[in-house]
Chains A and B, each alone.
Chain A
């Protein structure tokens, strides 16, 4: 909380000082009110002086008016400062999240980052507002009442010094015992949610196995436990108000009795007793508010810590390059130039037992195609993420166009190396606005040619609004296959030098997938990039058919490249590759390609094309 305050309070120092100062004046008037009433009773009533009485009345009203004026100033200051700081924190947080690398994004997780930017910042903002508005008011009122009482009479004031800590103790005692209950309650509520969720997602299994009764009993047990905990927590927490009330009024009893003794002895007045009673009420009510503030601030400081954690997190991938990479020099010797080079590249996720990518070395010429194949979790995606520096290799070298990726300006690198992630993601807007992500200046002709290459031209043309067709959040109004083709088109806009398809045609049927690859090959030959370099392509896939025609295929297993070479060579020398092929290709086909010839009569068990995306498009 303090760190956030130090960093963001600067521009609002004026509001932060003036706000509470104004509040202080209102509190002072509040404190004076019982005194004025006491004077009213002792001076005006005792002397039966109606004029004096009215004067005191006007004084009270005047104090109220001045008080509200100062309070208004304070509230305005609080609104300005808290909203201003909240806005600044939110902006800083969003900006910082933008700079985080994949590694940090993984660590925090998307839902957590979203809560931090929205909820946590709101909590902090609320705490700042309450801080300005009330942090002064209630403690000052409590302490002030006590001081005022002590000023009137020290002996009677002692009762305050006894009652106040007692209330504080009661609060601490009850709350400390309630908190674990509340936590348990929440856990048990979560369990009810879990059981409900399981019952819904498994409704067919539950009913097929005729276990409805069992599930109902499981739920009932959880519900009963939750209710029992909640009742126990309630039994405890409902003591808070009665005990406060009890202590407060017993203290009043004490004041009346001792006050009576003092008045009887002389030197103390009836009005002062009344003032004492009023101060007592004010003190104890203030303490209740202070306790509430403590709760708000505890919650806010937890939020602030979560916000700070993000802000303090140093992006693992720093943009240190000073000069852009000169691609024309590379283009001059394009035929010989290496587009990609990995030398002993290794990457471990933080806290992971084994590296996700281990000691991978490979080279690919400009204009070449690299296939990456392997089972689930073999490190394929992680390997290609090293190329646009989404992750930094923990050991070894990664070079693009002969330049270490760390020496590229980050923006330039990511414009040059265009990756299509596994998950097809679109944001709300139009098809055009989504396609312009990599290059704002691209014209329609360029967009259309990207769409054609991505095999998306046809369905986009069929939309009434074409490029301006509306896209819902997440691209929900498009089918999986359409989304994938749009994201591929987006990657092609801006004419990147390297295109990485990270298992990004999984929702396409074989035919479309093949047409896509043919189009990409066409682009590679046409040397359409701005620097004049031919397009280099990396295809990650689980399908043998997608990578079979690549210049080189890298076979991944447990993070290692266990095979590297063209298809025919791997069929000879790589056991795992043969196994993968065996699971996807027919025997005849295996034999055929094994002999280096194209498959004559392919018998590939696989997706019924009509079950895939095409029929959904129709």
Chain B
């Protein structure tokens, strides 16, 4: 149930909305496919491979073994037809079978086949292992990176896109790139190997095969070119149809409520008919590629058979045995195969390259500057916070905060009110050093925040945001997130003080109940209470509440409010709120507009002054 009050900018949306199309949107050097950033050159293929090799390096044994096994396996496999041919040549006619020779050949054949099978397995296993391990390492690097990038990078990118880089793109690199490259490699080895074996058997016949096989490649590429065009068209229409379905099925309830079904169907039918026409053509053309190459191969087969047999009879174009003809017949097929497959493999590698670029762009993202060596810890914080002439902007030419001065004594309650986008939540971003100030100084306990070791600074703050964040894990673990070593008794105590103990005990496994991602069936209020308990447990010196009750209905808020009051007792607190009940009791209310503080004072003072705050207050009423 959406809260009845306009949900105002959560921290992330503020940053995301201002970062529209500026450099935040790229990972400071991540060029992938973003047309708006043409300054950074696209990462070249060689560069991608070189960087990938860096990740492959630790697993180079797998790589070397797989290449070696691949060469061995292909050579052995190619030797098989020759042995079969020799075997056939031992069988000339009644009484003309050389059993000794045949037995030798067959023993050899069996040995070669077994060896080929083993090396083939070894090659497959090593490539897979290599792909999996490289993907794992890339993932670990990507995840480590995400924990080091500035919050602005995470705010400025769609989370789905980042997740897809970590999950899908990395998989693509593993499967597509590594397996594609090994496939390409074995293709080349097959061609070279076949050529070698054919030359060794009979040079003139080899020449025949080499001369006629390009036919099949031409046929395949010609068909692919034709069908590609229809495929692109088909994809376009399919995309349109998909969007239509997505949109109209998404609002199906509305369609029903408005009795709009017939007309939405008419729109669908038109697109569907269009898809039929193009899809039929695309499918037909693409389905020609197999029979087409098969046809050419059949012709080649006939030519090789005739010329080969001619060679057996007349010695022209080459002196051959029947067994050797059989060898050429099988080679003719084998030789063309890599050529026909190469288009597919290259397409696969291209997709994988795009994925690799996206992953590397993420890995190239700029990082948060590390703490200065010997940065002091913020030990036993008193909770004195001061903003001195602070300026800040997310985007270079659009200043957001201007000349902000706030002085909060330990234990003071400071409330921030003002319209969306006026910079209220940005103050919290600055306090926690998610972003750094452009000008001015922000002090905690008298020292600029930039000087402290980040971790110690953040540990002295407690934060409750509008969106409650719960992860997949037990209730206990969720509450103890900020203090993992806390005992059950401490966790229960924190929950009691947050007024959360009662409902937790009502859960099936109490504190050991596993919550799904996002909190599952818990109500908004209950989720928020867990987040409050979490902060309660860490006992911070300064408390930051950012619209913490805005997604809760008013009756629940009353219950949560008691927990907040408990939490705020004796702590410096900054409260961003739109419900004035929280604001009214503040020691100081700051009214912000366009990045400046336009008014400050207590509730009564401000009402009496009859300025912006009073207007804001009155404007709620009809």
Contact = CB atoms under 8 A, between A and B. Distances in A.
Contact of A273 (B88, B171, B555): B88
Interface stretch (B305-313, B399-407, B436-444): B305-313
Given A80-B280, A260-B97, A607-B6, A239 B121 contact: yes
11 contacts: A33-B298, A63-B298, A84-B276, A194-B517, A212-B148, A234-B124, A245-B117, A473-B243, A605-B579, A611-B420, A612-B8
Contact of B263 (A102, A440, A545, A607): A440
Interface in A193-223: 193-194, 196-212, 214-216, 219-220, 223
Nearest to B146: A199
A1 interface: no
Interface in A454-506: 473-474, 480-481, 490, 503, 506
A503 B273 contact: no
Interface string A82-96: 111011001100110
A568 interface: no
Contacts of B344: none
B65 to A, nearest CB: 13
B318 interface: no
Given A53-B313, A257-B106, A506-B5, 15 more contacts: A40-B306, A61-B302, A67-B298, A76-B284, A207-B458, A208-B432, A231-B133, A235-B128, A260-B99, A267-B94, A270-B93, A376-B553, A376-B556, A508-B6, A511-B622
Contacts of B256: 98, 100-102, 105, 390, 414
A98 B265 CA distance: 8
Grouping DSSP codes into helix (H, G, I), strand (E, B) and loop, the B interface class, with mixed when no group exceeds half, is helix
A264 interface: yes
Nearest to B1: A376
Contacts of A437: 254, 258, 260
Nearest to B428: A204
B235 to A, nearest CB: 12
A604 interface: yes
Given A64-B295, A91-B272, A198 B472 contact: yes
Contacts of A189: 167, 171
A interface, size bucket? 35 or more
A3 interface: no
Contacts of B580: 605-606, 608
Nearest to A64: B298
Interface in B87-119: 87-88, 90-97, 99, 102-103, 105-106, 109-110, 113-114, 116-118
Contacts of A427: 247-248, 251
B128 A238 contact: yes
Contacts of A201: 159, 467, 469
Contacts of A67: 295, 298
B245 A37 contact: no
Grouping DSSP codes into helix (H, G, I), strand (E, B) and loop, the A interface class, with mixed when no group exceeds half, is helix
Contacts of A515: 622
A574 to B, nearest CB: 14
Given A57-B302, A507-B6, A610 B616 contact: yes
Interface stretch (A42-50, A154-162, A342-350): A42-50
A522 interface: no
A224 B238 CA distance: 38
A226 B310 CA distance: 58
Contacts of A422: 1-2
Interface in A217-271: 219-220, 223-224, 226-227, 230-231, 234-235, 237-239, 241-243, 245-246, 249-250, 252-253, 256-257, 259-261, 263-267, 269-271
Interface in A99-127: 99-102, 105, 110, 113-114, 117-118
Contacts of A616: 420
Contact of B96 (A60, A65, A264, A277): A264
A82 to B, nearest CB: 7
Contacts, number: 464
Given A87-B273, A199-B147, A246-B113, A421 B94 contact: no
Interface in B61-90: 77, 80, 84, 87-88, 90
A22 to B, nearest CB: 11
Contact of A208 (B4, B132, B463, B578): B463
A292 interface: no
A410 interface: yes
Contacts of A44: 309, 313
Interface string A264-290: 111101110110011001000000000
A250 B110 contact: yes
Given A425-B251, A509-B6, A608 B578 contact: yes
B124 A241 contact: yes
A87 B275 contact: yes
A437 B144 CA distance: 50
A480 B617 CA distance: 22
Nearest to B311: A45
Given A259-B91, A375-B553, A611 B6 contact: yes
A427 B275 CA distance: 21
A535 interface: no
A246 B76 CA distance: 12
Contact of B245 (A117, A227, A376): A117
Given A205-B481, A208-B463, A215-B147, A105 B620 contact: no
A542 B4 contact: yes
A521 interface: no
Contact of A98 (B109, B264, B329, B463): B264
Contact of A260 (B91, B255, B269, B272): B91
Interface string B283-309: 110011001101100110111011001
A196 B2 contact: no
B8 A102 contact: no
A602 interface: yes
B38 interface: no
A83 B238 CA distance: 13
A97 B252 contact: yes
A277 B135 contact: no
B363 interface: no
